[in-house]
């Protein structure tokens, strides 16, 4: 699945869904639909990429090629993939960096140069 598709829901499709899940009472609707939604999410796993400015985009060839062209990257070997863990400290650092720069992932996780002259104290 390359693109995220949004489908409008009609009254008829809601009634069909109620019959599909054998829902007789509205109280059980939330639980059954929630479980079905979780099952469908697990089946249709989608990978996303997070940009340096924290924009989230579906991972597919078109946005990646567009980004590489925009950044004038000719050799894919110049790129760096980094797995990160975001805990409370990193979350606070990302929040702080987001008020100072548009390249907060670089600043927080790669030690990039901050674009702002605002001084900040490290978290202890």
| pTM for the model | 0.44
The answer to whether 44 and 37 have CB atoms below 8 angstroms apart is no
Long-range CB contacts for residues 86-90, cutoff 8 Å, separation at least 24:
89/123
Query: Is-contact 109 101, C-beta < 8 A?
Result: no
65-98: per-residue pLDDT in tens?
777 788 787 777 777 777 778 888 888 888 888 8
Closest by CA position to 84, among listed 58, 64, 111: 111
**What is the tens place of the pLDDT at every residue in 3-53?**
555 555 555 555 565 566 655 554 455 555 566 655 555 555 667 777 888
Q: What is the pLDDT of residue 86?
A: 82
What H or E segment, with its residue span, contains residue 58? strand 56-58
Digit-coded pLDDT (tens) for 23-37: 555 445 555 556 665
Residue pair 6/58 in contact by the 8 Å Cβ criterion: no
């Amino acid at each position: 699945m390359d693109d995220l598709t949004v489908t409008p829901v009609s009254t008829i499709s809601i009634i069909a869904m109620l019959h599909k899940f054998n829902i007789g009472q509205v109280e059980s609707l939330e639980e059954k639909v929630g479980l079905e939604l979780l099952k469908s999410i697990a089946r249709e796993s989608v990978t996303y990429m997070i940009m340096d400015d924290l924009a989230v985009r579906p991972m597919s060839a078109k946005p990646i090629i567009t980004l590489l062209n925009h950044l004038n990257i000719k050799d894919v070997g110049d790129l760096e993939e980094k797995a990160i863990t975001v805990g409370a400290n990193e979350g606070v650092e990302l929040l702080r960096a987001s008020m100072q720069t548009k390249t907060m992932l670089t600043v927080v996780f790669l030690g990039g140069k901050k674009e702002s002259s605002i001084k900040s104290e490290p978290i202890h």
